[in-house]
Amino acid sequence: MHTGYELLWMAAERTPMHPALIDDRTDRRLTYAELIAEVDAVAAGFAARGIGRGVRVAIALPGVWEHCIAILALMRLNAVPAVLNFRLKPDEIAGLCRTSEVDAAIIQPDPALTQVIEKALPDGAPIWAVGAEIGSARSFAACRADAASLGTYEKPAETDIAFLFYTSGTTGLPKAVVLNQRTTEHRLVFLSSQGGLRQGTHNRALGCMPLSHVIGFFGVFLVTLAFNGTYFVVSEFSPPVIVDLIHDEKITFAFCVPTMFQALTGAGNYTPEKMASLEVVLYGGITIDPDLLAHIDAEWGGKVRHIYGTTETMCSLSNPDPVGQHATLRPAYFCRARIIRVGGDGPDDIVASGEEGELIVDSTAGTVFVEYLGRPDATSEKLRDGWYFTGDVFRREDNGDMTIVGRVDDMIRSGGESIHPEEVEMILEGHPAARSVSVVGVPDPTWGQMVVAVIAGIPQDPAATAASIDLNCRNSPLAGFKRPKAYFFARDLPRNSTNKVLRRELRELVVEAQTTGDVSFQRVSGV
């Protein structure tokens, strides 16, 4: 086994003078040798404040330069980065710091966030803010010390915890997905076998994926460094800036969610010629519009490929070669996968060709997580008899390929984020006009699925009522990306004989109202 830090260090030994990391905001450029020195200096700064092997440190930042440096420095110390989605609300971030028992945090310079983080951490625990000193949070820029004070790198055990990443649960705070040191190397190599990324200094990677999701961290950032490529930091998702970056810097490798492809091709300065340098273009997370796919596949450099994975398993399936139907995938060589009957007799109850069922993947594969931290209930629900239950529904094809169909539950996938309707419903119910509400995801060209709230009862002024519920939502602990983008007021919510809301029928009602321009359908978001 090699740890993530060892893989970086070995790459630096091979090509010390090659550019490793390039910042979009400052144009700062570090070679591999300089990156190792910078990581050491910051690691020494961490160590001076008591951070060391096994110490958990929350990072809640956009994919900025400091995020890249901080996570590598924590890896240098074999500390445990708890990598949080910076788009969560302060109370959620603080709640996760508490439940993950972190001993330090690196955050954005936001006074409200700093206050709740201080309370969530043990007394006197170090907090660093990127950009400015704020309250008790010190400036991350000052977190440095003499690298000579660091000992040599100590190899951890394969079973030591390496990272905590997060995945949303039906209700309550997201679950911490425990990844041990063994998984890291496995989480990188598939980029070659399933993604077509060859090791070498020719790789110039677009760093637009959030580092708080495993695909952005392992699948773009760390693999680029381990493979001797150059990682171009993209501090915020600004489509015209990214179009020019791809063109000017001759980017060769990108992973995007389809929402991003759509935004890039819609930018005012976009032309397909600017994408000619791309060699490896991968996507996942949500369904892709067939016209968009045909456009980028034909006109960008390289082939566009779909890889399927989860936070818990990393890559499990990918497009077979040559790429045929993009929704049709094949299990990776290192990972057994099955489609089993939903509500059937378990892992051996495999569906026949042409039938649909839940995808389960071999949980002994090298990429797979250990457990959900402090959640044996959730762990035993998803990890059973040597299999991980993905919750995703696939159809089994005659040749053994697997075609994505949907979900066993009602989870919504919007722009690559997972949103559970129950969580949104609980917030909406706090408004007197939304006592009876059901949240669904409907197909959307931008987000893959759009979150829509369906409310029983038709108010006099649907627009005003929708605006009022939306305002409540904005002021609630619900993260912005989970907020309904539209409201639909229905006379009744269709229910079955046991009084359960029939979401499938609701989705159909919403789609119909959307197309007919019914006033009971109100958009509240411009995006």
Helices (H), ranges, 475-523: 503-516
**Residue 154: CB minimum distance to ligand 01A, A:** 29
**For residue 110, what are the contacts with CB-CB under 8 A and spacing of at least 6?**
90, 134
Task: From residue 95, give the alpha-carbon distance in Å to each of 60, 113, 522.
Answer: 13, 11, 33
The angle subtended at Cα 407 by Cα 404 and Cα 411, nearest 5°, is 130
Only segment of 15-23, 257-265, 319-327, 347-355 that touches ligand 01A (CB under 6 A): 257-265
Kindly state whether residue 315 participates in binding ligand 01A, applying the rule CB under 6 A. yes
Please say which residue, 102 or 257, places its beta carbon nearer to ligand 01A: 257
CB-based burial of residue 350 (10 Å sphere; 0-12 exposed, 13-18 middle, 19+ buried)? middle
Of 423, 311, 339, whose CA–CA distance to 83 is shortest?
A: 311
Amino acid code (one letter) for 115: Q
Q: Which of 371, 417, 423, 444 is in the footprint of ligand 01A by CB under 6 A? A: 417
168 binds ligand 01A (CB under 6 A): no
Q: Which is nearer to ligand 01A, 92 or 417 (CB)?
A: 417
| Burial of 432: CB neighbours in 10 Å, binned 0-12, 13-18, 19+ | exposed
Q: Which of residues 169-228 bind ligand 01A (CB under 6 A)?
A: 209-210, 213-216, 219
Answer yes or no whether residue 447 interacts with ligand 01A by CB under 6 A. Answer: yes
Among 314, 335, 365, 466, binds ligand 01A (CB under 6 A): 314
Decide whether 237 or 334 has the Cβ nearer to ligand 01A: 237
Q: Select the span of 140-148, 336-344, 384-392, 411-419 touching ligand 01A (CB under 6 A).
A: 411-419
- Residue 117, interface with ligand 01A (CB under 6 A)? no
Q: Is 419 left (phi over 0), alpha (psi -120 to 50) or beta?
A: beta
From the list 114, 235, 414, 476, which residue makes contact with ligand 01A (rule: CB under 6 A)? Answer: 414
CA–CA separation, 392 and 68 (whole Å)? 31
Alpha-carbon distance of 100 to 108, in angstroms, equals 19
x/- track of binding to ligand 01A for residues 30-69 (CB under 6 A): ----------------------------------------
Nearer CB in complex with ligand 01A: 121/296: 296
- Contact between 305 and ligand 01A by CB under 6 A: the answer reads no
For residue 39, the SS3 value is: helix
Nearer of residues 156 and 216 to ligand 01A, judged by Cβ:
216
Interacting positions 128-167 with ligand 01A (CB under 6 A): none
Q: State how far the Cα of 261 lies from the Cα of 281, in Å rounded to an integer.
A: 10
- Calculate the alpha carbon distances from 127 to 53, 55, 220 in Å: 18, 14, 27
- Taking CB under 6 A as the criterion, the residue among 4, 81, 174, 285 binding ligand 01A is 285
- Distance CA(268)–CA(291), nearest Å, equals 19
Considering CB under 6 A, how many residues would be counted as binding ligand 01A? 29
Query: What residue ranges bind ligand 01A (CB under 6 A)?
Result: 87, 209-210, 213-216, 219, 237, 257, 259-260, 284-285, 307, 309-311, 314-315, 414-417, 447, 480-481, 525, 527
